[in-house]
């Protein structure tokens, strides 16, 4: 029998099996109308507007909608189908209209303003004050100060943006699934690891075919680019991958995002202009840690300067190696990962595949739980009997050292059809206080790892283990929060350029021997990673880190510039080409349309914010450096991180929280050192 608090939390979990796509729009219509009526009634109450009388019931109303919508949005990402897609498209528009309507409600914004101006404001907790201040800021960003004509335009632009970004990600998914290639001659696949061969043989078997079916899903595409000796195949798949959803490549024009991109950029710029910002980058910065677009640009340029020489050295080394050892006259984009892998093996006698047998998935997951137990004193245990969207999914509960339930999460590990690629954490239920009792937070952790093949347990790469830790870091931020108010609880209210702090922070432990001993063990013998393999793996850690750094900077600068320097005449491709000329060291073929599948910025929350990864990496590397000083498993340091950062959500300024943890403001040196780029 689960404990009482667990039962209460389970009662708030969605019933995925009961979601009927054809009923979603009607249900949502009814719910939104009910919310409108309830908010109206709240605003008509007599007497002074106070937190308890106004904000608490207002939060209830918002939470009801979040809990209805979260599982639907989630299913759209992990178990897509035609009916759901139709419903989702309509629903996104309705939600966008609803939220702009609230953002532009004068009565609502004056309710918040009167709370801020009241004598009672000072008596509120810092978290409550933050909720009110953030809300007032968001009213301004949502167009509250505009006249009616402009407000109307703002609403229309928001709605259109919601539609376009949905279409963008659907195109990417469709284009990814539209390409496949069957190969019957195994010789054409030489070099591919057994794990990948097993996966693509299984792909073929599912389609009743002989041989192997290649797809653009990352568990197939990644290994082909890194290991397959067949250069023609690499080139073919590279072209298919980097032209997805564009006017180029094998499905040219079929799922083309060109117009979506142009319209999204134009509308974002217009949105920013409407509320008084010269461009969308300025608008984006308004809610972030960075204080100006200039400071972001300078930050990125500084990193470019610090890493360009290293990147050129890396590429020269790669080119020389390819010429001398692999008989290649030039290193093309479809050779970079392949030659890199060969060079890594040559220089460090180390191949990423060598580690795979040591990372059977169950062991890794157990080891992860063990690691966070030692660091943060929390215990993770399986929670059976919960309704799911797929049989592969597992559910766990998290308790702290005092035995208190801190949250629940779903773990969906494997790539499969109709599931969006990549890895992410999303919120299912947010922690908040409801009438004196706590609503426990619930998270979705989603990955796209190589699925089990032929009934054998899945073996992960070290990279995949790293991804799991990364997402779990986000998960802890959501689950360990002790904030009682939804808008600043967990990852809510955390500035986007700080959101990657806990996730990148937790990645560090997959490089620590002590942690590795608990997250790894040979799948046949249980044997630990041998010392000399560990040594080679660490030596290879910063292999080509210069190249990796400039690649990330290329994405970040591109994202920032297309938003900061928007003009209707601009060509997105030209801006990208310019950034590449300045930053990239590997030549890109003219058909490359990487940006057409750059969902982070055109369909996710990273617009004019992709720099956040690097920005937060400064914080995460610096936070980890305190553990390097005090012991990587020092439970006091772990407790301090938990209490200063993980439990505080968006309830205080992140720079203040960080400084409290570190005892000083952030510095960039730990990042450069950990990436092997310090001079
Ligand atoms: Zn992340």
Res. 635: pLDDT tops 90: yes
Q: How crowded is the C-beta side of 324, counted as CA atoms within 13 Å?
A: 9
Q: How far, in Å, from the CA of 470 to the mean position of ligand 1?
A: 6
Res. 226: pLDDT tops 80: yes
Q: How far, in Å, from the CA of 471 to the mean position of ligand 1?
A: 6
Residue holding tokens 């479809």?
A: 334
Mean pLDDT of 370-399: 97
Mean pLDDT of 617-643: 97
Q: How far, in Å, from the CA of 423 to the mean position of ligand 1?
A: 8
Q: How far, in Å, from the CA of 375 to the mean position of ligand 1?
A: 20
Options 397, 471, 500, 647, the catalytic residue: 471
What would the pLDDT profile of 277-331 be if each residue is shown by its tens digit? 999 999 999 999 999 999 999 999 999 999 999 999 999 999 999 999 999 999 9
**Secondary structure of residue 449 in the 3-state scheme:** strand
**Secondary structure of residue 212 in the 3-state scheme:** strand
Q: How far is CA 346 from the centre of its chain?
A: 33
Which of 603, 596, 605, 606 minimizes the C-alpha distance to 176?
A: 596
Query: Nearest 5°: CA angle at 141, between 98 and 498?
Result: 105
Q: How far, in Å, from the CA of 156 to the mean position of ligand 1?
A: 31
**Secondary structure of residue 476 in the 3-state scheme:** helix
- For position 351, what pLDDT does the model report? 84
Residues 6+ apart with CB under 8 A from 463: 352
Q: How far, in Å, from the CA of 479 to the mean position of ligand 1?
A: 15
Please confirm, yes or no, whether 471 is among the known catalytic residues: yes
- For position 1, what pLDDT does the model report? 60
Q: How many CB atoms lie within 10 A of CB 179?
A: 20
Average pLDDT over the chain, rounded to an integer: 95
Q: How many CB atoms lie within 10 A of CB 31?
A: 17
Radius of gyration of the chain (CA): 25
Written as one string, the DSSP assignment of 172-197 is HHHHHHH-EEEE--GGGGTT--HHHH
**Secondary structure of residue 562 in the 3-state scheme:** helix
| Burial (CB count <10 Å: 0-12, 13-18, 19+), residue 626 | middle
Q: How far, in Å, from the CA of 206 to the mean position of ligand 1?
A: 33
Written as one string, the DSSP assignment of 484-548 is -SGGGSTTTT--GGGTTHHHHHHHGGGG-HHHHHHH---TTT-PPPPHHHHHHHHHTTTTTHHHH
Tokens of 517: 């001993």
E strand or H helix at 351: none
Q: How far, in Å, from the CA of 291 to the mean position of ligand 1?
A: 22
Q: How far, in Å, from the CA of 52 to the mean position of ligand 1?
A: 35
- For position 453, what pLDDT does the model report? 83
Beta bridge partners of 350: none
The residues placing their C-beta within 5 Å of ligand 1, an ion, are: 500, 503
E strand or H helix at 411: strand 405-414
Q: How far, in Å, from the CA of 604 to the mean position of ligand 1?
A: 12
**Residue pair 536/652 in contact by the 8 Å Cβ criterion:** no
Residue holding tokens 């990549």?
A: 422
E strand or H helix at 424: strand 424-429
**Secondary structure of residue 410 in the 3-state scheme:** strand
What's the longest Cα–Cα distance across the chain?
83
Q: How would residue 349 be classed by pLDDT, with cut points 50, 70 and 90?
A: confident
- What is the three-state SS of 286-336? CCCCCCCHHHHHHHHHHHHHHHHHHHHHHHHHHHHHHHHHHCCCCCCHHHH
Beta bridge partners of 434: 437
What would the pLDDT profile of 125-168 be if each residue is shown by its tens digit? 999 999 999 999 999 999 999 999 999 999 999 999 999 999 99
Q: How would residue 604 be classed by pLDDT, with cut points 50, 70 and 90?
A: confident
What would the pLDDT profile of 543-554 be if each residue is shown by its tens digit? 999 999 999 999
Q: Determine the Cα–Cα distance for residues 424 and 279; give it in Å rounded to an integer.
A: 28
What would the pLDDT profile of 326-346 be if each residue is shown by its tens digit? 999 999 999 999 999 999 999
What would the pLDDT profile of 447-487 be if each residue is shown by its tens digit? 999 888 888 899 999 999 999 999 999 999 999 999 999 99
């Amino acid at each position: 029998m689960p404990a009482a608090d667990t039962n209460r939390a389970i009662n708030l979990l969605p019933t995925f099996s009961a979601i009927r796509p054809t009923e979603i729009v009607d249900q949502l219509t009814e719910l939104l109308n009910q919310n409108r009526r309830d908010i109206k009634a709240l605003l008509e109450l007599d007497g002074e507007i106070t937190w308890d009388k106004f904000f608490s019931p207002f939060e209830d109303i918002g939470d009801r909608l979040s809990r209805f919508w979260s599982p639907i949005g989630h299913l759209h990402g992990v178990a897509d189908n035609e009916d759901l897609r139709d419903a989702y498209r309509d629903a996104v528009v309705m939600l966008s209209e609803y939220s702009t309507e609230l953002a532009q409600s004068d009565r609502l914004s004056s309710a918040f303003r009167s709370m801020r101006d009241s004598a009672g404001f000072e008596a509120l907790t810092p978290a409550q004050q933050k909720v009110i201040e953030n809300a007032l800021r968001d009213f301004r960003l949502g167009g509250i100060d505009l006249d009616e004509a402009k407000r109307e335009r703002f609403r229309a632009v928001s709605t259109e943006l919601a539609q376009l970004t949905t279409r963008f990600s659907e195109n990417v998914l469709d284009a990814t699934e539209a390409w496949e290639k069957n190969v019957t001659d195994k010789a054409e696949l030489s070099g591919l690891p057994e794990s990948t061969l097993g996966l693509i043989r299984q792909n073929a078997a599912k389609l009743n075919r002989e041989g192997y079916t290649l797809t653009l899903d990352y568990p197939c595409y990644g290994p082909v680019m890194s290991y397959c000796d067949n250069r023609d195949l690499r080139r073919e798949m590279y072209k298919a991958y980097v032209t997805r959803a564009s006017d180029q490549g094998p499905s040219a024009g079929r799922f083309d995002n060109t117009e979506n991109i142009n319209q999204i950029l134009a509308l974002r710029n217009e949105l920013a202009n409407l509320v008084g910002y010269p461009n969308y980058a300025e608008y984006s910065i308004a809610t972030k840690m960075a204080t100006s677009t200039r400071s972001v640009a300078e930050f990125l340029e500084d990193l470019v300067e610090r890493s360009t020489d290293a990147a050129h050295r890396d590429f020269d080394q790669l080119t020389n190696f390819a010429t001398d050892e692999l008989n290649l006259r030039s290193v093309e984009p479809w050779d970079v990962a392949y030659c890199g892998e060969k060079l890594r093996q040559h220089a460090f006698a180390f191949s990423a595949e060598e580690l795979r047998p040591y990372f059977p998935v169950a062991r890794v997951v157990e080891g992860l739980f063990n690691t966070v137990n030692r660091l943060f004193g929390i215990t993770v245990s399986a929670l059976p009997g919960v309704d799911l969207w797929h049989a592969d999914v597992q559910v766990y509960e998290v308790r702290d050292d005092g035995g208190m339930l801190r949250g629940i999460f779903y773990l969906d590990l494997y790539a499969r059809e109709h599931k969006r690629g990549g890895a992410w954490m999303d919120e299912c239920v947010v922690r908040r206080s409801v009438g004196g009792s706590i609503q426990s937070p619930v998270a979705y952790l989603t990955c796209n790892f190589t699925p089990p093949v032929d009934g054998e347990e899945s073996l992960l790469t070290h990279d995949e283990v790293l991804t799991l830790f990364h997402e779990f870091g986000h998960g802890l931020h959501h689950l360990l929060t002790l904030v009682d108010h939804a808008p600043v609880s967990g990852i809510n209210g955390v500035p986007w350029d700080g959101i990657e702090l806990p996730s990148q922070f937790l990645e560090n432990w997959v490089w620590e021997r002590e942690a590795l001993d608990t997250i790894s063990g040979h799948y046949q013998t249980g044997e630990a990673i041998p010392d000399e393999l560990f040594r080679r793996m660490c030596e290879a850690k910063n292999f080509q880190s210069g190249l990796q750094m400039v690649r990330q900077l290329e994405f970040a600068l591109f994202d920032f510039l297309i938003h900061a320097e928007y003009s209707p005449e601009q060509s997105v491709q030209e801006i990208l080409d310019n950034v590449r000329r300045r930053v990239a060291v590997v030549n890109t073929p003219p058909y490359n349309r990487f940006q057409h599948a750059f969902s982070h910025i055109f369909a996710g929350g990273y617009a004019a914010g992709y720099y956040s990864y690097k920005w937060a990496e400064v914080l995460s590397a610096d936070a980890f450096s305190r553990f390097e000083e005090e012991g990587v498993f020092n439970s006091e340091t772990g407790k301090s991180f938990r209490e200063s950062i993980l439990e505080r959500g968006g309830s205080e300024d992140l720079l203040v929280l960080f400084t409290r943890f570190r005892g000083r403001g952030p510095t960039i040196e730990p990042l450069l050192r950990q990436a092997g780029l310090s001079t």
